[in-house]
Amino acid sequence: MINNSIVYEKAYKFALRIIKAFQYLQFEKKEFILSKQLLRCGTSIGANIAEANGAISNNDFSAKMSIAYKECLEAKYWLNLLKDTNYIEPKVFESIYADADEIAKMLFSILKTTRIQ
Helix (H) or strand (E) holding 73: helix 58-84
Locate the domains of the chain by residue range.
Answer: 2-116
pLDDT at 1 over 50: no
pTM passes above 0.85: yes
For the domain made up of 2-116, the CATH class stated in words is: mainly alpha
Q: How far is CA 81 from the centre of its chain?
A: 15
Q: Average model confidence (pLDDT) for the chain?
A: 94
Write the pLDDT tens digit of every residue in 73-86.
999 999 999 999 99
Write the pLDDT tens digit of every residue in 4-30.
699 999 999 999 999 999 999 999 999
Dihedral of CA atoms 107, 108, 110, 115 in degrees, nearest 10, equals 140
Instruction: For residues 97-111, give the mean pLDDT.
Output: 97
- Taking CB atoms within 8 Å and a gap of at least 24, the contacts of 84-87 are 85/34, 87/25, 87/29, 87/31, 87/34, 87/35
